[in-house]
Amino acid sequence: MSQFKRTLNFKTTIAIVIGGVIGSGIFMKPALMALQLGSPLLLVSVWIVAGLITLFGALSNAEVAAMFPETGGQYVFFKKMYGNGFAFLYGWAAFAVFNTAGNASIAYVCSQYTNYFITLPKLPYATEHVFHIYIPFIGTIFPLENFGVKLLTIAIVLLLTFINYKSVNYGAWLQRVLTALKVIAIIILIAGIFSSGKGNMHQLYASTPNMPKGFALISAYIAAIAGAFWAYDGWNNITFIAGEVKHPQKNIPKSLLLGLLFCIIVYGLINLAFIDVLPIHSMAASKFVASDAAKIVWGITGGGFIALLVILSTFGTANANILATARITYAMGEENALFAWAGKPQKKYHTPGNALWLNAIWAIILILSGSFDMLTDMLIFVSWFFYGSSALGVFILRMKMKTVERPYKVIGYPYITLIYILFTAFFLIVTVYKDIENYLTGTSTIINSVFGIAITSIGIPIYFLTKNKKVK
C-alpha cells in the first residue's frame, strides 16, 4: 500500500481523537438519558462506564495500529485478521452509510445551530413536500425539506473537503485550532455553572419517583449507554490516518489513552454541572439540557453561548471525520476495481484527493435525501459488530503472528480486550432483541439491526464481482 508523508505530530493526533469524539452528543443526549434512568447517579455512571468500555476497545485497536501503522486503519487491520472479503465488507459499510452519513449528520447539526444567529431560508411547506421519494420499508424522504439548512450543510462538507484536499497540514492545523476553541468553551461552561452559586449538588442523590426498577432498569441502562456510546464514537478516526502519523507506534496509543481519558472526565463534569443547576425531572423534560443549564447561569446570553459551543464542537468534529474517513475509501481503492479511482492519491498535494471528493459526493446525496440520521441509527448495530470484531482480532493476531514485533501491547491483556468483546456481544444481542420487540409491538416499521445487516450484505456480491478485476 502506498504511503503518504508522515506529517501529523502528537498534538494533532490528540486533537483528532478529542475533536472526533466531542461533537453534539454530550449536549443532546443527557436529557433523554435522564428520562430513561430517572437517577442522577446512574446518569453519571453511564457516561463513565461507556467511556471505560470505549477506552478498552480503543486500547485493543491501538495494539494493531502500532503493528500496522498504515493509511486505512481498521480496513487494513481486518485484512490481516480475517482476509480481504471481510475487510471489503467493512469498507463498504463505512462508505455506504456510517462514515459518510456520520459526516453529513454532524455537519447538519452544525448548520441547524447557525439558525440561532442567522435565519436560514426555508421553502413553503407545500413546496417542500411537492417532490418526494417513497422507499419501501423505509419511508418517504423529502429532498426540499429544510433546504436552507441542507445547503449550508453541503457548503460545510465542501469547504472542509477542499481544505483537506489541498493539504493534510491545513486540515491538521484547522483541527488543532477548533479542538482548542472547543475545549476552552467547554471549560468555561463547566466552570461557569459550578462557580455561579445557583446550583445544588444535593440534587445528585434525588431520583424521580417513577425511576425504573428490576429488569426495566437494566433495559433502560442499556438504552442510555447506547446514547453515550454514540457520544464517544469517533475515537477510531486516528487509526484511519496511521500512515500519516509521526512515530505512530508511540503517538497513536498515547493519543487514544490520553484523549479518551480527557473525554471521560469532561463528559462526567458536564453532566455533574447540568445536575448542579437542574433537578433530574427538569433534565428529563428539557428539549436541550445544555441550553437550559446555561440560561440559569447567564440568562438569555447562555443560549447564544451554547449555540456557539455546539457550532464550534460540530464543525471541529466534521473536520476530523472528513479528514480521517476518506482514508478507508482510499485504502479500498488501492485494491478493488470498484473504488479504483478513489485509490489514486493527489500527486501535487499528497492527499487522498479522489477519496475525499467521492465521500463528499455521497454525503451530499445523503444530505439532500435527509435519510442519513435514519441510516446511522440502523447501522449503529453494524458499526459495533465491526468494533467487536477488531477487538477479537487482537486474539487472532496473537496466534497468527506470534513472532511479529508489537511496539505497543494492550494494557491488561487479555482481560481488557475480553471484557470489551463480551460487552459488545451482550450489546448486540440486546439490540437485536429490542429491535424485534419494537417491530412486533408496532413501535417500529423495520427491524433496524437486520436492515443494517442487509445493507452491509450488499457488499458481498459486489466484492465477488470486483475482486478479480485488476486495479489500474
pLDDT band with cut points at 50, 70 and 90 for residue 59: very high
Which structural domain range is residue 114 located in? 10-466
Other beta carbons within 10 Å of 414: 13
Residue that has been written with the C-alpha cell 479511482 in this structure: 341
pLDDT of 400-437, one tens digit each?
999 899 999 998 999 999 999 999 999 888 888 888 88
- Alpha-carbon span 472 to 466, nearest angstrom: 13
Whether 456 is covered by a domain: the verdict is yes
**CATH number (domain holding residue 277):** 1.20.1740.10
- State the pLDDT at residue 49: 95
Q: Confirm whether pTM is higher than 0.85.
A: yes
Q: Does a structural domain hold residue 5? A: no
Q: What are phi and psi of 71, to 5 degrees?
A: -65, 130
What's the total number of domains in the chain? 1
DSSP H or E segment with residue 135 = strand 133-135
Percentage of residues in the chain with pLDDT exceeding 70?
A: 95
Q: What is the CA radius of gyration of the chain?
A: 22
Distance CA 320, CA 237 (A): 7
Could you tell me if residue 1 is inside a domain?
A: no
Assess if residue 58 is contained within a domain: yes
Tell me, yes or no, whether 2 lies in a domain. Answer: no
Q: d(Cα 385, Cα 256) in Å, to the nearest integer?
A: 20
Question: What is the band of 107 on the pLDDT scale with cuts at 50, 70, 90?
Answer: very high
Residue 133 pLDDT: 77
167 pLDDT higher than 60: yes
**What is d(CA 355, CA 328) in angstroms, rounded to the nearest whole number?**
8
In a domain? residue 472: no
Q: How confident is the model at residue 273 (pLDDT cuts 50, 70, 90)?
A: very high
**Crossing angle of the two packed helices 380-400 and 84-93, in degrees rounded to 10:** 150
Which helix (H) or strand (E) element contains residue 111? helix 100-114
Determine, yes or no, domain membership for 310: yes
Q: Of 139 and 5, which is predicted with more confidence?
A: 5
Please give the biggest Cα pair distance in the chain.
68
Predicted confidence (pLDDT) per residue in 213-256, tens digit: 888 888 889 889 888 988 898 898 999 998 899 999 999 999 99
Residue 247 lies in a domain: yes
